[in-house]
Amino acid sequence: MQQAFGLYTHIQANRRRSIFLIGALFFLVYLLVFAGALLGDALFDDASVSWLIARAWDRTISALPMATVLTLVWIAIAYKYHQRMIDALTGGHPVTRAENPRLYNLLENLCISRGMPMPSLKVMSSPALNAFATGLNERQYSITVTTGLLENLNDAEVEAVLAHELTHIRNGDVRMMIVAVVIAGVISFIAEIVFRGRLWWGQDGSNRSQRSTSDTSGKGSGGGGIAIMFAVLVIALAWGLSIVIRYALSRSREYLADAGSVELTKNPDAMISALRKIENRGELPGATSAVMELCVDNPHSGFADLFATHPSVDARIKALITFAGGIDPGPISPPEPPPPEPSQHERSDVAQP
């Protein structure tokens, strides 16, 4: 867990990462456009490698304005409608004080104590125990909690989770995560266009024959195979860089959000017991990996843990105990489901002497 001065360093680092991510987004888009142009030409035109690369470069330069405009349009749509898209995926809906005074008052008190504007509050119907924050600015910030979390956590634990999400907002983690989600969406969209590039260069080899007859000076031949391999390597490079961008979202943000929760509530025990109750019970059915990365817990195990964006619950609790005190109750098993209701036949048998 970081020291207090680390919080401000983290906020500044998040701002720099967000700017870097936007720049990386455009770079990856242009890289994929070049790979798509090279792949299309190599598939449908017999020429030397140098000629194919030069032609793909010319095509990329020509396509830059269109690629830039489409990327900006995507960013604008994501900026304005990302919350609606997340709500459509999760089923989250806004709640008022009258509808859920317990939850509303807990969040309002936390915001008043820190002098923060209160984000909108949403609830999604799910037996999973989880919560997440979204938004890019003060007008958009929102915190969503599941009904399962409200039913299984006491007031102090719910308050700790809300404080954790408020800290994500305060530290700029939410803004950076939404930017990362937008990048993942753009890269997936562009990659699909690249692999469906036959729509641009023709569905069959007819264009190849047309270009072969119309432009034959200095083009050579036999470089298609090498050019295709090079294009695939470029696409793999873009894909790898998108993974690197994902890893730029340091796991330390969860430690800092846990620390921020303790700072707001002065109750490390509540954060620890909340994590123990949420542990292995936070998977949101139907939610995408991008949404899960926003949650207070994103459970992974085995090989998938290598790609986890959250540290383990044990590691987070160990940090809380080491730097904030508190007591770990140990793993908490989910409550036993109620016994099934007896059937009419069974009730009749019991009633008979």
**Quick check: 98 and 69 in contact, CB under 8 A?**
no
DSSP H/E element including 241: helix 224-247
- Amino acid letter, residue 58: D
- Longest CA pairwise span in the chain (Å): 103
Q: At what angle do helices 268-278 and 155-171 cross, to 10 degrees?
A: 100
**Quick check: 63 and 37 in contact, CB under 8 A?**
yes
Nearest to 126, CA basis, from 269, 305, 292, 332: 292
Of the residues 157, 159, 165, 279, only one is catalytic, namely: 165
Q: How far apart are CA 248 and CA 240, in angstroms?
A: 13
Q: Verify whether residue 346 is a known catalytic residue.
A: no
**Quick check: 127 and 148 in contact, CB under 8 A?**
yes
Q: How far apart are CA 346 and CA 58, in angstroms?
A: 79
What is the token pair recorded at 11? 């906020």
CB atoms within 10 A of CB 192: 10
Q: How far apart are CA 26 and CA 58, in angstroms?
A: 18
What does each C-alpha distance from 103 to 9, 43, 106, 134, 257 come to in angstroms?
31, 59, 5, 17, 19
Q: Residue 321 contacts by C-beta under 8 Å, 6 or more apart in sequence?
A: 268, 272, 327, 328
**Quick check: 281 and 148 in contact, CB under 8 A?**
yes
Q: Give, as one character, the DSSP assignment of residue 249.
A: S
CB atoms within 10 A of CB 249: 18
* 3 state SS of 144: strand
Q: Strand pairing of 120-124 and 142-146?
A: parallel
Instruction: Report the catalytic residues.
Output: 165
